Amino acid sequence: MAHPPSYDGKGSALTESHPRVLLITPGALNRYRESGVTLTNLLTGWPQDRITQIHADPAPPREVLQSPRFFDAAGGARSSYAPTVRRVRAARQFAMGRSNTGLLWARMSTSLRGWLRANPPDIIVSQTGNLAFLRLTRRVADETGAPVVLYAADDWVQDWPANNLGRRIPPLTDILARTVRREFTALAQRSVAHMAISDAMGRAYAQRYGGEWLTVPNPVDLGAWPERVPEDVAFTSNRPFRILYSGSLHPVSQLPGVIDVSTAVSSLHQAGVPVTFEVATHGGFQYLRDTIERPGVSLVDLVPPDDLPARLAGVDLLVLPLVFDPLRLRYIGLSMPGKVAEYLASGTPVLAYGPRGSAVIDHAADHGWAEIVSVRSVAALGSRIGALMQDGAARRALAVSARQVAAEQFSLARVVPVFQETLRRAASRHPDRATLQP
């Protein structure tokens, strides 16, 4: 298995093939949740001392929190690992607008300026993610002179912050949305390269903001995911049909769909159908246990990254939920969730639950890698789950198609070179590139 870079501060010396990369993204690099996983995978093999990051992660991994190569733009205000005194002080600075980023603002503090001088980038890769980090990207680029590569993982720009909140608050959200679109357009025009997490997002962004947007999804190392064929067995109370969801439970994306699946499975279970559903999520969502759990349904700890191939391959069906709410779809409708690559590689059939017109559901339909329920209906979910339980041939066909798509579009060997070569070419646009010293 190809391992992503660790965070011990060791690595090779500067070479032309590995320019110094500064990531600017709200979430810190990590191996277990959200965009941090994608960026960690995309930087597989990149020397660790050539990667720095500015983040505002509410719970960064300890190795990120303790490393001088990572700068907490929120001042540690929300870090669960920071000492209480530090968190109180940082929260006061955040509330007073004295941290490097807040809800809307960004500033070039003395500490950030000093950190940038100690860690000068050859290239900036920014996911922006909110107005504060959009503005922070611009300020860091102005300060360092480094060229910018934009990497869009969700369509937060479309109608922020209403699409994140799930409601509009006129005139505030309308004013902020116009501001975001104007400032993002200016940053896109300034950037030397652009990447999007799905083909649909790349097409939409090229039309809106101009330029070419390369498709760069979360990649998967197929060597760590042995090929398998789903079992064709008669399911009983001693050997139930096992369904799994693995990932986050954000209200703006996965949670409503997971609740619907939980309701459908519990109804089947209580009617005597041998089926169970496990929801594996990390500690930040354990408070939802009472919301999720019911007869036949349980909430469990997130699967460790190294155990994920065996865990996903050890069930009978994987669930990929999406929201149906039109406003929230404006936030995630063009996204390709990071778990898609892992699901496709697992050899386990997938049930995708979400509306047509969204990138992931349309991709699944076009390439035949999932059984799709495209209307919001607990009854339809229950019916489709029951049908899949009885149809081993359909489950095998889905698994075979998924594995093929994983190899063709999501493999580490295909995706990572595209991402890393884009960084190398972008770094060559640095105005001081000719004088950079090892």
pLDDT value, residue 62 = 84
**pLDDT (tens digit, 9 = 90+) per residue, 188-220?**
999 999 999 999 999 999 999 999 999 999 999
pLDDT value, residue 245 = 98
| 354-158-170 Cα angle (round to 5) | 105
- Residue 44 is assigned to a structural domain of this protein: yes
pLDDT value, residue 107 = 84
- Residue 34 is assigned to a structural domain of this protein: yes
| Mean pLDDT calculated for residue range 78-104 | 46
| Mean pLDDT calculated for residue range 252-263 | 95
Domain co-membership, 387 together with 266: yes
Tokens of 141: 């680029």
Domain co-membership, 228 together with 79: no
pLDDT value, residue 426 = 94
Q: Where residue 97 falls among pLDDT bands split at 50, 70, 90?
A: very low
β-pair partners for 242: 276
Report the alpha-carbon distance of residue 37 to residue 30 in Å, rounded: 5
Domain co-membership, 151 together with 48: yes
412 within 8 A of 222, measured Cβ to Cβ: yes
Q: State what percent of residues in the chain have pLDDT above 90.
A: 75
Domain co-membership, 282 together with 258: yes
**pLDDT (tens digit, 9 = 90+) per residue, 312-359?**
999 999 999 999 999 899 999 999 999 999 999 999 999 999 999 999
Which among 221, 226, 245 has a CA at the least distance from the CA of 337? 245
195 within 8 A of 212, measured Cβ to Cβ: no
Beta strand residue intervals within 57-129, DSSP E: 70-72, 123-126
How many structural domains comprise the chain?
Answer: 2
| Mean pLDDT calculated for residue range 226-234 | 84
- Residue 1 is assigned to a structural domain of this protein: no
Give the domain extent around 171. 21-219+411-435
- Residue 9 is assigned to a structural domain of this protein: no
Domain co-membership, 333 together with 405: yes
pLDDT value, residue 16 = 59
Tokens of 433: 């590139």
Q: Where residue 242 falls among pLDDT bands split at 50, 70, 90?
A: very high
- Residue 148 is assigned to a structural domain of this protein: yes
| Mean pLDDT calculated for residue range 353-378 | 98
Length of the chain: 438
- Residue 3 is assigned to a structural domain of this protein: no
Domain co-membership, 143 together with 271: no
Per-chain mean pLDDT for the chain: 88
Domain co-membership, 206 together with 122: yes
Report the alpha-carbon distance of residue 35 to residue 381 in Å, rounded: 28
Phi-psi region of 64 (alpha: psi -120 to 50; beta: other; left: phi over 0): alpha
pLDDT value, residue 433 = 54
Prediction pTM value: 0.88
**pLDDT (tens digit, 9 = 90+) per residue, 272-314?**
999 999 999 988 899 999 999 999 999 999 999 999 999 999 9
pLDDT value, residue 84 = 39
Q: Cα dist. 265→170, 268, 279, 377, 398 in Å?
A: 40, 5, 12, 13, 21
Domain co-membership, 215 together with 232: no
* CB atoms near residue 100 (< 10 Å): 25
387 vs 106, residue with greater confidence: 387
Phi, psi of 321 (to 5 degrees): -95, 150
By DSSP bridging, strand 193-196 and strand 275-281 are unpaired
Report the alpha-carbon distance of residue 317 to residue 373 in Å, rounded: 14
| Mean pLDDT calculated for residue range 10-36 | 77
pLDDT value, residue 421 = 96
Q: Where residue 102 falls among pLDDT bands split at 50, 70, 90?
A: low
Phi, psi of 103 (to 5 degrees): -75, -35
β-pair partners for 101: 106
Which residues, 6+ apart, have CB-to-CB distance to 38 below 8 Å? 153, 197, 217, 218, 338
Q: Where residue 229 falls among pLDDT bands split at 50, 70, 90?
A: confident
pLDDT value, residue 284 = 85
pLDDT value, residue 422 = 96
- Residue 11 is assigned to a structural domain of this protein: no
252 vs 261, residue with greater confidence: 261
Query: Is pLDDT above 80 for 92?
Result: no
CATH number of the domain where residue 417 is located: 3.40.50.2000
Domain co-membership, 132 together with 268: no
Q: How is 151-200 classified by DSSP, letter by letter?
A: EESS-TTSSTTHHHHTS--TTHHHHHHHHHHHHHHHHHHH-SEEEESSHH
Domain co-membership, 195 together with 54: yes
250 vs 193, residue with greater confidence: 193
Domain co-membership, 350 together with 251: yes
Q: Where residue 431 falls among pLDDT bands split at 50, 70, 90?
A: confident
Say whether the peptide bond before residue 240 is cis (omega within 30 degrees of 0): no
pLDDT value, residue 388 = 96
pLDDT value, residue 101 = 61
Q: Where residue 260 falls among pLDDT bands split at 50, 70, 90?
A: very high
In b/e form, how buried is each residue of 59-92, taking b as 16+ CB within 10 angstroms?
A: bbbebbbebebbbbbbbbbbbeebeeeebeebbe
270 within 8 A of 295, measured Cβ to Cβ: yes
Domain co-membership, 199 together with 275: no
- Residue 10 is assigned to a structural domain of this protein: no
Q: Where residue 15 falls among pLDDT bands split at 50, 70, 90?
A: very low
Q: Cα dist. 11→18, 53, 54, 125, 438 in Å?
A: 11, 16, 19, 20, 13
Report the alpha-carbon distance of residue 168 to residue 187 in Å, rounded: 25
Q: State what percent of residues in the chain have pLDDT above 70.
A: 88
